Protein backbone atom coordinates (compact mmCIF):
# COMPACT_ATOMS: atom_id res chain seq x y z
CA UNK A 1 0.00 0.00 0.00
CA UNK A 2 2.80 2.47 0.84
CA UNK A 3 4.37 1.86 -2.56
CA UNK A 4 1.03 2.48 -4.28
CA UNK A 5 0.59 5.73 -2.35
CA UNK A 6 4.09 6.90 -3.30
CA UNK A 7 3.12 6.48 -6.96
CA UNK A 8 -0.37 7.95 -6.59
CA UNK A 9 0.66 10.82 -4.30
CA UNK A 10 4.33 11.63 -5.03
CA UNK A 11 4.07 15.00 -3.28
CA UNK A 12 2.98 13.39 0.01
CA UNK A 13 5.46 12.47 2.76
CA UNK A 14 4.86 8.67 2.34
CA UNK A 15 7.76 7.70 4.63
CA UNK A 16 8.44 7.03 8.32
CA UNK A 17 7.13 9.97 10.34
CA UNK A 18 9.70 11.40 12.79
CA UNK A 19 9.08 12.57 16.33
CA UNK A 20 7.50 16.00 16.65
CA UNK A 21 8.40 18.43 19.39
CA UNK A 22 11.08 18.68 22.04
CA UNK A 23 13.19 15.49 22.21
CA UNK A 24 14.08 16.30 25.84
CA UNK A 25 10.50 17.08 26.90
CA UNK A 26 9.15 16.04 30.28
CA UNK A 27 5.93 14.71 28.69
CA UNK A 28 5.78 12.31 25.75
CA UNK A 29 2.68 11.34 23.81
CA UNK A 30 2.66 7.98 22.05
CA UNK A 31 0.10 7.52 19.29
CA UNK A 32 -0.66 4.53 17.09
CA UNK A 33 0.65 5.32 13.59
CA UNK A 34 0.48 7.99 10.90
CA UNK A 35 -2.97 8.48 9.40
CA UNK A 36 -3.34 8.11 5.64
CA UNK A 37 -4.48 11.67 5.00
CA UNK A 38 -2.80 13.07 8.12
CA UNK A 39 0.85 12.47 9.00
CA UNK A 40 1.43 10.17 6.02
CA UNK A 41 0.57 13.18 3.84
CA UNK A 42 2.17 15.94 5.92
CA UNK A 43 5.17 14.23 7.53
CA UNK A 44 4.20 15.71 10.93
CA UNK A 45 2.67 13.54 13.65
CA UNK A 46 -1.04 14.20 14.24
CA UNK A 47 -1.36 16.91 11.62
CA UNK A 48 -3.90 17.00 8.84
CA UNK A 49 -6.70 14.95 10.41
CA UNK A 50 -9.42 15.09 13.09
CA UNK A 51 -7.37 13.29 15.74
CA UNK A 52 -4.73 15.98 15.45
CA UNK A 53 -7.34 18.72 15.75
CA UNK A 54 -8.39 17.47 19.19
CA UNK A 55 -4.82 16.71 20.28
CA UNK A 56 -3.43 20.14 19.38
CA UNK A 57 -6.46 21.96 20.84
CA UNK A 58 -5.88 20.08 24.09
CA UNK A 59 -2.14 20.72 24.04
CA UNK A 60 -2.89 24.43 23.59
CA UNK A 61 -5.20 24.48 26.63
CA UNK A 62 -2.38 23.17 28.80
CA UNK A 63 0.37 25.37 27.37
CA UNK A 64 1.96 22.39 25.61
CA UNK A 65 1.62 23.87 22.12
CA UNK A 66 1.65 27.35 20.71
CA UNK A 67 0.19 27.93 17.24
CA UNK A 68 0.32 24.20 16.53
CA UNK A 69 3.95 23.82 17.60
CA UNK A 70 4.55 21.44 20.54
CA UNK A 71 6.25 23.04 23.54
CA UNK A 72 7.63 20.92 26.39
CA UNK A 73 6.19 17.79 24.83
CA UNK A 74 7.28 15.25 22.23
CA UNK A 75 4.85 13.33 20.03
CA UNK A 76 5.83 9.84 18.89
CA UNK A 77 4.08 6.89 17.25
CA UNK A 78 4.26 3.19 18.09
CA UNK A 79 4.44 2.55 14.34
CA UNK A 80 6.27 5.11 12.21
CA UNK A 81 4.75 4.29 8.78
CA UNK A 82 1.18 4.14 7.53
CA UNK A 83 -0.05 0.61 8.28
CA UNK A 84 -2.30 -1.24 5.83
CA UNK A 85 -5.93 -0.56 6.69
CA UNK A 86 -4.80 1.55 9.67
CA UNK A 87 -4.17 -1.70 11.55
CA UNK A 88 -0.48 -2.35 12.17
CA UNK A 89 0.73 -5.90 11.97
CA UNK A 90 2.64 -7.30 14.96
CA UNK A 91 5.79 -7.40 12.83
CA UNK A 92 5.48 -3.64 12.12
CA UNK A 93 4.96 -2.85 15.80
CA UNK A 94 7.98 -4.95 16.73
CA UNK A 95 10.15 -3.46 13.96
CA UNK A 96 9.35 0.10 15.10
CA UNK A 97 9.88 -0.52 18.84
CA UNK A 98 13.65 0.24 18.79
CA UNK A 99 12.87 3.71 17.40
CA UNK A 100 10.31 4.25 20.15
CA UNK A 101 12.72 2.99 22.83
CA UNK A 102 15.42 5.38 21.64
CA UNK A 103 13.13 8.42 21.69
CA UNK A 104 10.92 7.68 24.70
CA UNK A 105 12.91 9.38 27.47
CA UNK A 106 10.28 11.56 29.16
CA UNK A 107 9.37 10.80 32.77
CA UNK A 108 5.64 11.23 32.03
CA UNK A 109 4.13 9.42 29.05
CA UNK A 110 0.60 9.50 27.66
CA UNK A 111 -0.40 6.48 25.55
CA UNK A 112 -3.21 7.04 23.06
CA UNK A 113 -4.94 3.69 22.66
CA UNK A 114 -4.14 0.10 23.48
CA UNK A 115 -1.45 -0.51 20.84
CA UNK A 116 0.38 2.65 21.88
CA UNK A 117 0.02 1.55 25.52
CA UNK A 118 1.47 -1.89 24.83
CA UNK A 119 4.38 -0.47 22.83
CA UNK A 120 5.13 2.18 25.45
CA UNK A 121 5.05 -0.31 28.32
CA UNK A 122 7.48 -2.60 26.50
CA UNK A 123 9.71 0.29 25.37
CA UNK A 124 9.90 1.55 28.96
CA UNK A 125 10.82 -1.86 30.39
CA UNK A 126 7.45 -2.66 31.95
CA UNK A 127 5.42 -5.84 31.87
CA UNK A 128 2.03 -5.99 30.17
CA UNK A 129 0.25 -8.36 32.55
CA UNK A 130 0.91 -5.87 35.36
CA UNK A 131 0.06 -2.79 33.28
CA UNK A 132 -3.36 -3.21 31.70
CA UNK A 133 -4.81 -0.58 29.38
CA UNK A 134 -7.79 1.47 30.55
CA UNK A 135 -8.70 5.10 29.98
CA UNK A 136 -7.13 7.20 32.79
CA UNK A 137 -5.17 4.20 34.09
CA UNK A 138 -1.83 5.18 35.56
CA UNK A 139 1.19 2.88 35.62
CA UNK A 140 4.48 3.27 37.50
CA UNK A 141 7.25 1.86 35.33
CA UNK A 142 11.00 1.30 35.74
CA UNK A 143 13.12 4.41 36.12
CA UNK A 144 10.44 6.24 38.14
CA UNK A 145 8.47 6.92 34.98
CA UNK A 146 4.70 7.14 34.80
CA UNK A 147 2.41 6.10 31.95
CA UNK A 148 -1.10 7.54 31.72
CA UNK A 149 -3.54 5.86 29.32
CA UNK A 150 -6.15 7.50 27.14
CA UNK A 151 -8.49 6.31 24.47
CA UNK A 152 -7.09 7.38 21.11
CA UNK A 153 -8.33 10.76 19.89
CA UNK A 154 -9.49 9.25 16.58
CA UNK A 155 -12.50 10.64 14.75
CA UNK A 156 -14.31 7.35 15.44
CA UNK A 157 -13.79 7.61 19.22
CA UNK A 158 -14.84 11.27 19.15
CA UNK A 159 -17.94 10.65 17.03
CA UNK A 160 -19.14 7.71 19.14
CA UNK A 161 -18.58 9.57 22.41
CA UNK A 162 -16.08 7.00 23.64
CA UNK A 163 -13.69 9.94 24.09
CA UNK A 164 -15.00 13.42 24.83
CA UNK A 165 -12.90 16.59 24.98
CA UNK A 166 -13.48 16.64 28.75
CA UNK A 167 -12.15 13.08 29.11
CA UNK A 168 -9.11 14.00 27.04
CA UNK A 169 -8.54 17.17 29.08
CA UNK A 170 -8.55 15.05 32.27
CA UNK A 171 -5.70 12.89 30.92
CA UNK A 172 -3.56 15.93 30.12
CA UNK A 173 -4.40 17.63 33.41
CA UNK A 174 -3.16 14.53 35.22
CA UNK A 175 0.02 14.35 33.12
CA UNK A 176 0.78 18.01 33.81
CA UNK A 177 0.23 17.49 37.57
CA UNK A 178 2.59 14.49 37.49
CA UNK A 179 5.21 16.53 35.63
CA UNK A 180 4.85 19.44 38.05
CA UNK A 181 5.22 17.10 41.04
CA UNK A 182 8.46 15.74 39.55
CA UNK A 183 9.87 19.19 38.70
CA UNK A 184 8.46 21.82 41.08
CA UNK A 185 11.40 24.17 40.43
CA UNK A 186 10.69 24.20 36.68
CA UNK A 187 7.05 25.01 37.36
CA UNK A 188 7.99 27.90 39.64
CA UNK A 189 10.47 29.22 37.06
CA UNK A 190 7.82 29.18 34.32
CA UNK A 191 5.41 31.33 36.38
Beta strands in the chain (DSSP E): 20-21, 27-31, 65-66, 69-70, 73-77, 108-112, 138-141, 145-150
Determine the angle formed by the axes of helices 114-123 and 90-103, rounding to 10 degrees.
Answer: 50
* Domain boundary assignment for the chain: 2-183
Pick 63 or 128 by higher pLDDT. Answer: 63
User: Containing H/E element for 157?
Assistant: helix 155-160
pLDDT in tens, 147-175: 999 999 999 999 999 999 999 999 999 99
pLDDT in tens, 88-143: 999 999 999 999 999 999 999 999 999 999 999 999 999 988 899 999 999 999 99
**Considering the entire predicted model, what is its pTM?**
0.93
Quick one: pLDDT band at residue 24, thresholds 50, 70, 90?
very high
> In angstroms, rounded to a whole number, what is the distance separating the alpha carbons of residues 47 and 168?
17
> In angstroms, rounded to a whole number, what is the distance separating the alpha carbons of residues 13 and 40?
6
Which CATH number is associated with domain 2-183? 3.40.470.10
Amino acid sequence: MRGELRLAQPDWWNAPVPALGDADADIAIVGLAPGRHGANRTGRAFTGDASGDLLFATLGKFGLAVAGVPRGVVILNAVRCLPPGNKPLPAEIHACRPFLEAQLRAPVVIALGQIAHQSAVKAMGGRLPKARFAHMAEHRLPGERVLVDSYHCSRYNQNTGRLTPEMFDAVFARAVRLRDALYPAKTADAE
